Amino acid sequence: MAKREKVKTNREKRARGQEGKKANFLFHTYFFASLRLCIFASLLLFAFFAPVFAETSVLKAGVSIDKVPKELYGTWRVSSKILSTNGEGLFKKDSVDLWNLSRAGDVITLDNPFSGAKASIIISNIDGNAIKFKKIGDYDGQKLTDTVQLVLEKDKFKGVNNLKLDTVSEIDGKAIQTKWATYSLTGEKISGESIKWSEQGTGNGK
């Protein structure tokens, strides 16, 4: 009798052990299946939203050149009047220049026939007819940065130019001295627009 009970007990232990192994196997199977499902869902979400995130970054990083009002292009007579500076005697108090703004492909160039200066500009913000752009030039160990904010009014504009002149070290290229000046700007258009499309030929001016 005792022997039968012992055999029965051993059978029950083996059965419980097999049930435990089966439960453990099912748990791991469902766990890893759920984990794979979560990873797959995450990859799907990333694939769906990644283009949105990329597009947002691009829009924040720069401004599409196609958003520039065509009225900006052309030749302007620009009057500048100094408002403030930390470089007395270094910058002109008043000046009159010619700006020729033209586009070739994806590049906007500002050409000043009076000074002979010519450089591409970087558009940093456009809000309707309000435009902000930057122009950088290097001259014999000095870097001149113009940051222009203007508002177009048909064939005229008003704005401000924050000018910064950095004297650059020949050793490490860092600025060792900075002079700045702020000018008020008024512009009057002399002639129409100048736009060249790299793939479509040359546009007609006004």
> So what's the pLDDT on residue 42?
52
> So what's the pLDDT on residue 116?
84
More confident residue, 185 or 16: 185
The CATH number that applies at residue 138 is: 2.40.128.120
Domain C-terminal end among 15, 46, 61? 61
Tell me, yes or no, whether 205 lies in a domain: no
**Do 157 and 75 have their domain in common?**
yes
More confident residue, 9 or 154: 154
**Do 153 and 74 have their domain in common?**
yes
Residues 61 and 93: their CA atoms lie apart, in Å, by 35
Task: Label residue 173 by pLDDT band (50, 70, 90).
Answer: confident
> So what's the pLDDT on residue 50?
35
Question: Is the pLDDT reported for residue 204 higher than 60?
Answer: no
Q: Which residues does 187 contact at the CB level (< 8 Å), separation at least 6?
A: 76, 77, 78, 79, 99, 150, 156, 157, 158, 159
SS3 state of residue 145: strand
Question: Is the pLDDT reported for residue 9 higher than 70?
Answer: no
Which whole number is the average pLDDT over 82-91?
A: 94
**Do 52 and 110 have their domain in common?**
no
For residues 65-94, one letter each, b for 16 or more C-beta atoms within 10 angstroms of the residue's C-beta and e for the rest, the string is eeebeebbbbbbebebebeebeeeeebeee
- Length of the chain (residues): 206
Tell me, yes or no, whether 206 lies in a domain: no
Domain C-terminal end among 24, 39, 61? 61
**Do 191 and 90 have their domain in common?**
yes
- Give the structural domain span for 126: 66-199
Kindly tell me the number of DSSP H helices and DSSP E strands found in the chain. 1, 10
pTM of this prediction?
A: 0.63
Task: Give the total number of structural domains in the chain.
Answer: 2
Residues 152 and 150: their CA atoms lie apart, in Å, by 7
Tell me, yes or no, whether 204 lies in a domain: no
Which whole number is the average pLDDT over 19-32?
A: 55
| Least trusted range by pLDDT, from 18-22, 85-89, 156-160 | 18-22
